[in-house]
Amino acid sequence: METIPFHKPFIGKEEQEAVLRVLNSGWLTTGIEALSFEKEFCQFLLENGSFQKSPVTKELFCLAVNSATSGLHLALEALGIGPGDAVLLPSYTFTACAETIRYLGAEAVFVDIGEDSYNINACELEKAIRAHTNNNSRNTLKAIIAVHFGGLPCEMTEINSIAQSHNLAVIEDTAHAFPAETPQGWAGTLGDIGVFSFYATKTITTGEGGMVLSSNAELARRISLMRNHGIDRSVWNRYTDTAASWYYEVIAPGFKYNMPDIAAALGRVQLGRAMDLLAKRISIAQCYDSAFKDSSVIIPPFPGGARHLYTIRLKQTDRRDAFIESLRSRGIGASVHFIPLHIMPYYRERYGLKPEDFPRSLQRYKETVSLPLWPGMSNEQIDRVIEAVLLLK
């Protein structure tokens, strides 16, 4: 029996040819492909969707990096986050959000998710801010990381309003949410900085990679500098500029976070397919929605967004692990998104947290299963997943 993987990248001849073009060019690291990918990513966001409808022209700066984790680190560093500071984020997310806060010596302040959502909740956000203030913490709240879980954008209008009232910066973790549109614009363009992921499982992929986006020129300059060792000239500029091409200055202790041209070439082709790949994801998700709507499993609470994940919830939480194993025995891959960070040993012990401290995140973890959802799935594969879920429900 053929195994249906949880995910399989949608890679075609054009992607292969793009990578071979770079391999044959003699230039493999950050260069013209990465620069073109940044420009085309900005153009995509500015020329499609809500930006076209808006009377306000928004300048965007897009900076390619080697992972979304690097992007989060750069975003926090650019905002001046450091020792003595604290950053709000959902417990229901991947460890990259919290670990990058710790890289800088700052502290993570976890927030629960909404009652019918997987996203950070505005009421819980206000509650966390009040609790932090009332506890007279020595750490000053400086920012919020809003994670767009599964491709569904957070309620950014409410989050931005809270941020403004408390003088907090907003970073959008848009790893799951490209391309996801809201009435205000694309997810990732609505806070101070947006961070996108092009990891192998994401909606478009470069294998490993990411993009950091901001409309703030000062933040963009800092991110651009720090992603390349704090050197004042890019490697592409140094090797192609005939005037003093060898000379550069280190003006900050930066990082090695640039995206190579091999990855960028793959990303450019994937970017050109983005809306078609989204349509395929939506079609598969709609098949699942239709099949499961009257079953005993709870379907995702959102019909829109980028449909990166298709998460069902089991009403009998004690059966979740057995359910996943039963799917696997039938040749169907499944996963769990996410194990809440507040029950992870490091964060549990550092902050003295208990599982019940974030009850919605804990409950969602216990009942959630992520099903296969990738653009190349055949009708037969979709039907097999549906049949197995309905049989095991």
The one-character DSSP state at 111 is E
Residue 316 binned pLDDT confidence (cut-offs 50, 70, 90): confident
Among the listed residues 53, 202, 315, 393, the single catalytic one is 202
The residue from 254, 274, 294 where one domain ends is 274
Q: How many domains does the chain have?
A: 2
DSSP state of 109: E
Dist CA 247 CA 349 (whole Å): 48
Q: Calculate mean pLDDT across residues 270-274.
A: 98
338: preceding bond cis by omega (within 30 degrees): yes
Alpha carbon 230 to chain centroid distance? Answer: 25
Domain boundary, last residue among 241, 259, 274: 274
Is there a domain that residue 75 lies in? yes
Residues 135-146 pLDDT 10s: 988 999 999 999
User: What 8-state DSSP symbol labels residue 353?
Assistant: -
Alpha-carbon distance of 322 to 369, in angstroms, equals: 11
**Closest C-alpha to 98, from 73, 117, 123:** 73
Q: Are residues 268 and 297 in the same domain?
A: no
Range of the domain at 40: 13-274
CATH number for the domain that contains residue 57: 3.40.640.10
DSSP label at residue 25 = H
Bridge partners of 173, per DSSP, are 147, 195
Cα–Cα distance measured from residue 266 to residue 268, given in angstroms and rounded to the nearest whole number: 6
Q: Is 202 a catalytic residue?
A: yes
Tell me the percentage of the chain whose pLDDT exceeds 70: 95
Confidence of residue 238 (pLDDT cuts 50, 70, 90): low
Q: Is there a domain that residue 1 lies in?
A: no
What distances in angstroms separate CA 116 from CA 119, 190, 206, 324, one per listed residue?
9, 23, 33, 23
Is the pLDDT reported for residue 306 higher than 90?
yes
- Of 251, 274, 297, which one is at a domain's C-terminal end? 274
Return mean pLDDT, the chain: 94
Nearest to 374 by CA among 292, 282, 294: 282
pLDDT (average), residues 87-106: 98
Assess whether 122 and 148 both reside in one domain: yes
323, two tokens: 């359910």
Q: Say what the pLDDT of residue 240 is.
A: 62
- Say which CATH number the domain at 305 has: 3.90.1150.10
